[in-house]
């Protein structure tokens, strides 16, 4: 059965815009609701948060009912009933109730995806409705037991309610739809003696005014007014339009670079003339405006990383219950902004790392207790901006990574020889976990241990021109840091010469540039190295690795070395000359050229020539030969 036949309103052209608005708004509500539910489990007594969660379900119920989405209405209505009982304090929130609400929440997301067309299979709600009804029945039973206890206490205190008071209380307790409570109170209280009317009015007024009731759909309060509740100061823009705008700005940057080149040539030929001065002023203005425009466009594409982070409390909750562990997930820096493209791509790597922290990092409660730790483990997920980069960290206070265990596993799997293992630094040993098929899990679980995941993390981070680094102390925990560029489109680059060719080295990887005498280059184990201060730096011959050419065209007495860093490691790139620094636009090599080892893409210089951009990570991996760095 396709969506057109399942949802009749999709066939109505006049309803198309309303349905699209409904899907967008509902997905936004669900995104916020995901984090709110996790907070509610921690702060069950927070009345404001409980009302906020209630209103979210109520809004989805109202709009879905207007559109005739019966399954969605049924599920949200039952959730609303449960939350209303919690709001009234009839029962306390417990794990059983929360599990049922979360199951319904997952079902609601699946129904919305089904309406949108992202999920082709039919979504069954029978099990969910049965579970919700069962929970409601349990809540009613608990409520009845509570009322019985209260009645016994009342009898001991020799206090009796009048018949009218009991009728009023029963009516207030059964008011599940958030109707006008005050009107009900006034009507019933008129049947009581005057003194009792005064007492009831004063005791209920505070409660009824403090509680904010959700909007009820009427002929005046239509679907459009509910969906368009946001202010007029924001609009939704299709991401494709922003991509087109960014492409135009990228081309403008290339044009600016070309204009700057022409201006430099004009200054040489017409130096001191009015024409050269006017052209120079115009180029400066264009340069300033291009930078401003580029900055504004980049900001429009920025999304808070909290959009990704807020998905993980639920993930950790479910995984920790499955693993029978007690784990807190602490989020920091959710307001840090990142390009939308990066936001979408970083989700999967973070999921893998979170799952590994839950399964491999945090110990079982009894193990933690024996080692003097709190039975509840902590995972800290944080983000911060560092210049033109974003730093994302996943840190746990678990058992840490034992380098000796890593080496033994790598040797037993044939990934590493015993001789080579002795030469590895601690950081290089940690990097072995990113090798395909590597796993230290003693048994395979539903969470991890199949030997897949960490290599995927490294691959995905590398595709984003990012760097991943591992720090760990046995018995104390592990910290994995991911460094990503703010954007993938425009970078600062250092232009170098190798033979007569120009290449771009991403400036984010450059530590320093040194000029050494050819006599200061030594060979150790057939690898060229130089000594800089107290460090020995291994050299990479760009000419050999990129152009597959042995030797240089001419042997100069002096050699330029561009020192680049990846994680804690430093390498030196041998180049023949330095041209300067420039902002460059990364262009894909296209399907014709495909992927070239060591090349991240290309750019167009001011004089129209095409220059390749080096992929520092890949160059170093290729140079290392054994492990990913």
Fold type of domain 304-485: Heat Shock Protein 90 (3.30.565)
Q: How many CB atoms lie within 10 A of CB 213?
A: 15
Query: Worst-scoring range by mean pLDDT, 98-107, 215-224, 483-492?
Result: 215-224
Q: What confidence tier does 309 reach under pLDDT thresholds 50, 70, 90?
A: very high
Nearest partner of 37 among 81, 99, 84, judged by Cα = 99
Whether residue 172 has pLDDT greater than 90: no
The per-residue pLDDT for range 615-624, each reduced to its tens digit, is: 887 787 777 6
Strand partners, 577: 497
Q: What confidence tier does 174 reach under pLDDT thresholds 50, 70, 90?
A: very low
DSSP H stretches of helix in 310-453? 312-323, 340-356, 365-370, 403-412, 418-423, 426-430
- pLDDT given at position 185: 37
- Of 600 and 564, which is predicted with more confidence? 564
Nearest partner of 372 among 248, 475, 221, judged by Cα = 475
Whether residue 162 has pLDDT greater than 60: no
- For the chain, percent of residues with pLDDT exceeding 90: 24
Strand partners, 485: 389
- pLDDT given at position 3: 52
The structural architecture, per CATH, of the domain 3-160 is: Up-down Bundle (1.20)
- Mean pLDDT, range 560-574, rounded to an integer: 84
Query: Worst-scoring range by mean pLDDT, 200-214, 233-247, 318-332, 370-384?
Result: 200-214
- Mean pLDDT, range 110-119, rounded to an integer: 80
- pLDDT given at position 10: 59
- pLDDT given at position 625: 55
- pLDDT given at position 286: 93
- pLDDT given at position 226: 46
Whether residue 142 has pLDDT greater than 90: no
- Of 295 and 503, which is predicted with more confidence? 503
- pLDDT given at position 448: 54
Q: What confidence tier does 474 reach under pLDDT thresholds 50, 70, 90?
A: very high
- pLDDT given at position 412: 86
- For the chain, percent of residues with pLDDT exceeding 70: 76
The separation between the first and the last C-alpha atoms of the chain, rounded to the nearest angstrom, is 50
Instruction: Provide the strand spans (E) within 427-552.
Output: 467-473, 477-485, 490-498, 501-506, 510-517, 522-524, 527-532, 535-541
- pLDDT given at position 332: 94
Q: What confidence tier does 492 reach under pLDDT thresholds 50, 70, 90?
A: confident
- The residues annotated with a catalytic role in the active site are 58, 80, 356
As a whole number, the mean pLDDT across the chain is 78
**Predicted TM-score of the model (pTM):** 0.70
Q: What confidence tier does 190 reach under pLDDT thresholds 50, 70, 90?
A: very low
- pLDDT given at position 534: 81
The per-residue pLDDT for range 359-400, each reduced to its tens digit, is: 889 999 999 999 999 999 999 999 998 877 899 999 999 999
- pLDDT given at position 297: 86
CATH number of 490-624: 2.40.50.180
- pLDDT given at position 485: 83
- pLDDT given at position 187: 41
- pLDDT given at position 330: 94
Q: What confidence tier does 212 reach under pLDDT thresholds 50, 70, 90?
A: very low
- Of 308 and 442, which is predicted with more confidence? 308
**Cβ-contact 347, 296 below 8 angstroms:** no
- pLDDT given at position 514: 92
- pLDDT given at position 410: 85
b/e for 12-25, b at 16 or more Cβ within 10 A?
A: eeebeebbebbbeb
């Amino acid at each position: 059965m396709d969506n057109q036949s399942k949802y009749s309103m999709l066939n109505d052209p006049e309803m198309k815009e309303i349905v699209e608005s409904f899907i967008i708004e509902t997905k936004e509500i669900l995104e916020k609701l995901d984090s709110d539910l996790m907070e509610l489990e921690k702060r069950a007594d927070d009345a404001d948060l409980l009302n906020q969660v209630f209103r979210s379900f109520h809004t989805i119920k109202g709009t879905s009912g207007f559109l005739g989405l019966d399954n969605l209405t049924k599920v949200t209505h039952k959730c609303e009933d449960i939350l209303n009982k919690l709001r009234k304090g009839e029962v306390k929130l417990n794990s059983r109730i929360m599990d049922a609400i979360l199951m319904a929440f997952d079902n609601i997301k699946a129904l919305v995806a089904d309406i949108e067309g992202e999920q082709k299979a039919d979504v069954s709600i029978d099990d969910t409705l049965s579970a919700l009804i069962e929970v409601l029945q349990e809540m009613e039973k608990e409520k009845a037991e509570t009322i019985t206890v209260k009645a016994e206490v009342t009898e001991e205190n020799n206090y009796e309610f009048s018949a009218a008071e009991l009728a009023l209380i029963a009516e207030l307790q059964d008011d599940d739809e958030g109707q006008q409570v005050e009107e009900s109170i006034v009507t019933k209280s008129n049947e009581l003696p005057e003194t009792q009317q005064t007492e009831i009015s004063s005791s209920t007024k505070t409660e009824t005014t403090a509680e904010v009731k959700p909007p009820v759909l009427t002929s005046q309060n239509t679907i459009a007014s509910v969906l368009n509740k946001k202010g007029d100061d924001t609009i939704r823009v299709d991401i494709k339009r922003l991509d087109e705008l960014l492409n135009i700005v990228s081309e403008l940057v290339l044009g600016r670079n070309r204009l700057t080149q022409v201006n430099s040539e004009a200054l040489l030929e017409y130096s001191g003339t009015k024409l050269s001065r006017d052209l120079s002023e115009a180029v400066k203005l264009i340069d300033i405006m291009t930078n401003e425009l580029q900055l504004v466009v980049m900001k429009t594409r920025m999304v808070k990383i909290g959009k990704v982070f807020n998905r993980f409390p639920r993930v950790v909750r479910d995984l920790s219950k499955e693993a029978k562990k007690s784990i807190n997930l602490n989020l920091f820096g959710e307001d840090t902004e990142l390009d939308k493209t990066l936001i979408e791509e970083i989700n999967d790597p973070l999921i893998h790392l979170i799952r590994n922290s839950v399964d491999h990092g945090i110990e079982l409660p009894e193990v933690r207790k024996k080692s003097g730790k709190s039975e509840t483990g902590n995972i800290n997920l944080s983000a911060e901006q560092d210049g033109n980069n974003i730093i994302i960290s996943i840190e746990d206070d678990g058992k840490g990574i034992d380098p000796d265990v890593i080496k033994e596993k790598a040797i037993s799997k044939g990934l590493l020889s015993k001789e080579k293992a002795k030469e590895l630094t601690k950081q290089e040993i940690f990097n072995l976990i990113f090798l395909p098929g590597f796993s230290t899990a003693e048994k395979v679980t539903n969470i991890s241990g199949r030997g897949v995941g960490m290599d995927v993390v490294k691959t995905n981070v590398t595709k984003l021109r990012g760097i991943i680094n591992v720090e760990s102390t046995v018995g104390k925990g592990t910290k994995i840091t991911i460094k990503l560029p703010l954007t993938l489109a425009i970078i600062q680059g250092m232009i170098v010469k190798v033979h007569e060719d120009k290449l771009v080295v991403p400036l984010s990887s450059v530590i320093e540039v040194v000029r050494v005498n050819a006599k200061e280059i030594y060979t150790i184990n057939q690898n060229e190295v130089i000594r800089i201060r107290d460090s020995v730096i291994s050299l990479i011959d760009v000419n050999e690795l990129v152009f597959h050419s042995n030797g240089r065209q001419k042997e100069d007495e002096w050699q330029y070395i561009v020192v680049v860093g990846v994680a804690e490691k430093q390498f030196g790139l041998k180049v023949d000359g330095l041209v300067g620094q420039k902002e460059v636009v990364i262009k894909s090599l296209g399907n014709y050229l495909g992927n070239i080892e060591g090349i991240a893409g290309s750019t167009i210089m001011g004089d129209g020539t095409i220059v390749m951009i080096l992929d520092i990570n890949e160059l170093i991996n290729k140079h290392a030969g054994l492990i990913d760095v």
